[in-house]
Structure 1
Amino acid sequence: MTIPPVVPHRIDPAGGCPHAANARLLDRGAVAPVVLPGDVEGMVVLGHDALKDFLAHPDVAKSARHFTALNEGRIPDGWPLMTFATVQGMTTADDEDHRRLRSLVSRAFTARRVEALRPRVEELTGELLDRLEAAVTEGEDIVELRRRFALPLPMSVICELLGVDEEFRGRLHHLSGQVVATDIGPREAVAANRELVSVLAAVAASRASRPGDDLTSALIAAREEDGDRLSEQELIGTLLLMIIAGHETTLNLITNAVRALCAHRDQLDLVLSGAASWSDVVEETLRWDSPVSYFPFRYPKRDLTVDGTVIPRGTPVLAGYSAAGRDRSVHGPDADRFDVTRASAARHLSLGHGPHYCLGAPLARLEATVALERLFARFPDLDLAAPDAELARKAGFVGNSVVQLPVRLWPVAGAA
Structure 2
Amino acid sequence: MNTVHTMDASGAAVHQEAAALREAAAACPVLLPDGVPGMVVGRYQELRDFLADPKVAKSPRHFAALHQGRVPPQWQLNAFALVTGMTTADGDDHRRLRGLATKAFTPRRIAALRPWIEQLAGDLLAALPDRAGADGSVDLRAHYAYPLPMGVISELLGVDHGFRDELHALTGRLVSTASSGAEAMAAQERVHAILAEVAAARRARPGEDLTSALIAARDTDLGEGAEQLSDEELVGTLLLMIVAGHETTLDLITNAVRALCTHPDQLALVLSGESSWDAVVEEVLRWDGPVANFPFRYPTTDLVVGGTPVPRGTAVLAGYLAAGRDPREYGPDADRFDITRPPGTRHLAFGHGAHYCLGAPLARLETAIALRELYAAHPRLALAVPDAELPPLPGFVGNSVAGLPVRLEG
TM-score by length of 2: 0.96
> Which runs of 5 or more residues in structure 1 are unaligned?
412-416
User: Is it true that 1:62 corresponds to 2:61 in the alignment?
Assistant: no
SS in 1 for 2:159: coil
Separation (CA, whole Å) in 2 of partners of 1:144 and 1:107: 37
Q: Show the 5 A alignment for 1:377-388.
A: 377-388=376-387
Change (3 A) 1:249 1:395: same
Separation (CA, whole Å) in 2 of partners of 1:10 and 1:139: 41
Partner of 1:6: 2
Partner of 2:143: 148
Separation (CA, whole Å) in 2 of partners of 1:64 and 1:232: 19
Change (3 A) 1:323 1:364: same
Deviation, 1:192, is 1.1
Partner of 1:93: 89
Partner of 1:200: 195
User: Is it true that 1:370 corresponds to 2:366 in the alignment?
Assistant: no
Separation (CA, whole Å) in 2 of partners of 1:357 and 1:65: 21
User: Is it true that 1:120 corresponds to 2:92 in the alignment?
Assistant: no
CA RMSD after TM alignment: 1.5
Which of 211, 219, 231 is matched with 1:216 structurally?
A: 211
| 1:35–1:41 Cα contact (<8 Å) kept | yes
SS in 1 for 2:318: strand
Separation (CA, whole Å) in 2 of partners of 1:404 and 1:139: 16
Separation (CA, whole Å) in 2 of partners of 1:33 and 1:304: 14
Of 217-226 and 184-193, deviating more is 217-226
User: Is it true that 1:104 corresponds to 2:100 in the alignment?
Assistant: yes
Separation (CA, whole Å) in 2 of partners of 1:76 and 1:158: 32
Per-residue CA deviation, residues 272-321 of structure 1 (Å, 9 max, x unaligned), is 11111100100000000010000000000000111111100000000000
Deviation, 1:140, is 6.9
Deviation, 1:21, is 1.9
| 1:330–1:344 Cα contact (<8 Å) kept | no
Q: Which letter maps to 1:364?
A: A
Partner of 2:283: 284
Per-residue CA deviation, residues 52-92 of structure 1 (Å, 9 max, x unaligned), is 00000000000000001112222111110011011000000
Q: Which letter maps to 1:183?
A: A
Separation (CA, whole Å) in 2 of partners of 1:331 and 1:69: 35
Separation (CA, whole Å) in 1 of partners of 2:43 and 2:13: 18
Per-residue CA deviation, residues 155-182 of structure 1 (Å, 9 max, x unaligned), is 0111111111111111111111111011
Q: Which letter maps to 1:355?
A: A
Change (3 A) 1:174 1:167: same
Q: Which letter maps to 1:168?
A: F
Partner of 2:328: 329
| 1:331–1:344 Cα contact (<8 Å) kept | no
Separation (CA, whole Å) in 2 of partners of 1:27 and 1:323: 9
Q: Show the 5 A alignment for 1:26-105.
A: 26-105=22-101
| 1:31–1:307 Cα contact (<8 Å) kept | yes
Q: Which letter maps to 2:35?
A: D
Q: Show the 5 A alignment for 1:325-364.
A: 325-343=324-342, 346-364=345-363
Deviation, 1:344, is 6.9
SS in 1 for 2:251: helix
Separation (CA, whole Å) in 1 of partners of 2:134 and 2:401: 25
Separation (CA, whole Å) in 1 of partners of 2:366 and 2:161: 20
| 1:284–1:345 Cα contact (<8 Å) kept | no
Deviation, 1:228, is 2.3
SS in 1 for 2:34: coil
Q: Which letter maps to 1:159?
A: S
> Which runs of 5 or more residues in structure 2 are unaligned?
none
Deviation, 1:356, is 0.2
Q: Show the 5 A alignment for 1:164-203.
A: 164-203=159-198
Q: Which runs of 4+ in 1 moved over 4 A?
A: none
Partner of 1:414: none
Per-residue CA deviation, residues 372-393 of structure 1 (Å, 9 max, x unaligned), is 0110111000000011111111
Separation (CA, whole Å) in 2 of partners of 1:213 and 1:22: 42
Separation (CA, whole Å) in 1 of partners of 2:257 and 2:250: 11
Q: Which letter maps to 1:185?
A: S
SS in 1 for 2:345: helix
Q: Which letter maps to 1:87?
A: V
SS in 1 for 2:259: helix
| 2:299–2:313 Cα contact (<8 Å) kept | yes
Per-residue CA deviation, residues 306-352 of structure 1 (Å, 9 max, x unaligned), is 11111000000000000000000111101111111012773010110
| 2:9–2:395 Cα contact (<8 Å) kept | yes
Deviation, 1:134, is 4.7
Which of 148, 153, 159 is matched with 2:154 structurally?
A: 159
SS in 2 for 1:347: coil
Deviation, 1:224, is 4.2
Deviation, 1:45, is 0.4
SS in 2 for 1:120: helix
SS in 2 for 1:290: coil
Deviation, 1:19, is 1.6
Q: Which letter maps to 1:335?
A: A
Deviation, 1:111, is 3.2
Of 214-223 and 264-273, deviating more is 214-223
Partner of 2:125: 129
Partner of 1:259: 258
Separation (CA, whole Å) in 2 of partners of 1:79 and 1:343: 42
Deviation, 1:28, is 2.0
| 1:305–1:311 Cα contact (<8 Å) kept | yes
